Amino acid sequence: MHNDNFLAQYVLDGAWDEMCRPDGSARNHYVELMRRMQHITPQELQQRQQVADDTFLAQGVTFTVYGHEAGTEKIFPFDLIPRIITDREWRRVEQGLTQRITALNMFLHDIYHDEHILNDGIVPRDLVYSCRHYRREMRGVNVPQGIYINVTGSDLIRLPNGEFVVLEDNLRVPSGVSYMLVNRQMSKQVFPQLFDHYNVQAVEQYGQMLLSTLRSLAPHTSEPNIVLLTPGSYNSAYFEHTYLARQMGIQLVEGRDLVVHNNTVYMRTTSGLQKVDVIYRRIDDDFIDPLVFRTDSVLGVPGLMHAYRAGNVAIANALGTGVADDKALYAYVPAMIKYYSGQEPIINNVETYLLSERSQRQYVLDNLASLVVKAVGESGGYGMLIGPQSTAAQRSEFATRISQDPRGYIAQPTLQLSRAPCIIDGQLEARHVDLRPYILYGDRVTIVPGGLTRVALTRGSLVVNSSQGGGSKDTWVLYADKE
């Protein structure tokens, strides 16, 4: 069986194509994948896709969509074709992210202690203090091992010249790693021979690595009691919380399961209270302790902040890390890297206009139709204006919002995210993708090879978020000898 037509819909444009060179020939590491695709009929592809979707639904691999009736569960669309990254490409990403995360962690320690970087005028003091995620309560607090950002996920995109750049850092409670893990299980089931042919670096050790990272935060206890704190079953990422708790063999707790007594955190079990040493929290700062932050929060644990400040419990990530992934402070990350390490950034930022600066603001207002505007405090693809796809009304609405709250927005050029092959109606088509690697920071920085490749499944769309019609695919980082 030979399917000559399988590339009929595969159109190249200005964006970097992960699979093809500009002349249409396959890049070396995609040759074998392309060859095998020629021997699979569209019907067969659709069958395999159906198997994958059914498996996800049956396993409850779903996320909750907000804004619909409570409990609307959907599967995160999975595309069968893996995204392949060479060892050489990956090594550079790994070095760049290690450098970046190390600098961001130093920045957090600095602004909550001596403020050298502010005193030296590298980062504007105003920008830090005006950030909604800056936590006064963290001033002078010494977090375990000095590590604030134990689990992060930075979003990378690939420019038309093939260069990886960081689009944003997620330093609070990044999600999606469970999809990385289930996607790998699935692609092994769907393409076992192809997987065997490629020499793919494993990701399955993530649960163990995360557990070691969390353990390292409680160095004085040989058997620390580690729990995962979830907002509960209505949270969109609840599946992930249950999945990770199971992978690590730790308790999945809600705020109401924990009590603080004499600045010590306990969990309520049927046989009495048990001391908790480390909390991997999947709940935002705002909701974590109603005595200190939002008083209307019923998700958190009253008194937790006091226990934390007393050093009786470790919380991962630390509180107040959101200040370093603020979209306006993002523009200063290259300067932070130079300031703390004396090195040039290995991975660059995307060019960013700060709207609190008068000259940059004017430029942005004049060029809204070609730029992307983002609200600094939003994530998940909400609060965005994509200039080239916007209407005049939307642009004037954003112009008003920017004038009223310049600190609340940033602008970036509209970037052509790289494109990778996806199965759309049984044919291969190119769709825009990004990459979110997951970075763990305990005793040292470790990154599982690959991460979550998110796909904008709508033709031409640049938005990869699951809440906005995005999907995902498995990411294969190859070992060096197969390149």
Partner 1 sequence: MAMLSRVADSLYWMSRYLERTEHTARLLDVTQHQLIDVDITASQQRWHRLWQALHYNEAMAGSREPAPIVELFTADSHYPDSLVASITAARENARQVREHISSEMWEQINRLYLDIRQQVQGHHWKQATHRFYGMVKAGSHLFQGITDATMIHDEGWNFIQMGRALERANNTASLLHSHLGILQSASDEQGVHHAEWVALLKMCSAFEAYCKVHTPEVTPPRMIQFVVYDAVFPRSIRFCADSIHAATIAIDAKHTRGHGQRVQRVAGKFQAMLEYGGVDDQLATLAHNIVQVQAGCSQIGAALHEVHIDYAVDSTLSN
Among 46, 49, 251, 467, binds partner 1 (CB under 8 A): 251
- The verdict on 245 binding partner 1 (CB under 8 A) reads yes
Q: Segment contacting partner 1 (CB under 8 A): 42-50, 152-160, 245-253, 410-418?
A: 245-253
Instruction: Indicate left, alpha or beta for 224 from its phi (over 0: left) and psi (-120 to 50: alpha).
Output: beta
- The verdict on 272 binding partner 1 (CB under 8 A) reads yes
Closest to partner 1 by CB, 262 or 367 = 262
Smallest gap, in angstroms, from Cβ of residue 205 to partner 1? Answer: 22
Distances (CA, A) of 465 to 248, 284, 382, 473: 27, 19, 9, 13
Residue 476 CA to residue 183 CA, distance in Å, equals: 11
CA angle 109, 110, 113 (to 5 degrees): 85
CB 457 within 8 A of CB 471: yes
Residue 259 CA to residue 300 CA, distance in Å, equals: 10
- The verdict on 19 binding partner 1 (CB under 8 A) reads no
Closest to partner 1 by CB, 60 or 192 = 60
Among 266, 398, 438, 441, binds partner 1 (CB under 8 A): 266
- The verdict on 246 binding partner 1 (CB under 8 A) reads yes
Binding to partner 1, residues 273-302 (CB under 8 A)? 273-274
Tokens representing 205 are 């050790």
Smallest gap, in angstroms, from Cβ of residue 414 to partner 1? Answer: 42
Instruction: Indicate left, alpha or beta for 34 from its phi (over 0: left) and psi (-120 to 50: alpha).
Output: alpha
Among 115, 254, 286, 429, binds partner 1 (CB under 8 A): 254
Among 268, 370, 396, 480, binds partner 1 (CB under 8 A): 268
- The verdict on 270 binding partner 1 (CB under 8 A) reads yes
- The verdict on 257 binding partner 1 (CB under 8 A) reads yes
- The verdict on 69 binding partner 1 (CB under 8 A) reads no
* 335: Cβ contacts below 8 Å, ≥ 6 apart: 122, 123
Smallest gap, in angstroms, from Cβ of residue 252 to partner 1? Answer: 7
Q: What is the size of the binding site for partner 1 (CB under 8 A)?
A: 24
Smallest gap, in angstroms, from Cβ of residue 261 to partner 1? Answer: 5
* 307: Cβ contacts below 8 Å, ≥ 6 apart: 260, 263, 264, 265, 313
- The verdict on 56 binding partner 1 (CB under 8 A) reads no
34 CB neighbour count, 10 Å cutoff: 17
- The verdict on 161 binding partner 1 (CB under 8 A) reads no
Among 24, 60, 146, 219, binds partner 1 (CB under 8 A): 60
C-alpha gyration radius of the chain: 23
Sign of the C-alpha dihedral computed for residues 387, 389, 393 and 398 taken in this order: negative
Smallest gap, in angstroms, from Cβ of residue 272 to partner 1? Answer: 4
Residue 173 CA to residue 181 CA, distance in Å, equals: 17
Both ends of the chain: CA-CA distance in Å?
28
Interaction site with partner 1 (CB under 8 A)? 60, 232-233, 242, 245-246, 249, 251-254, 256-257, 259, 261, 266-274
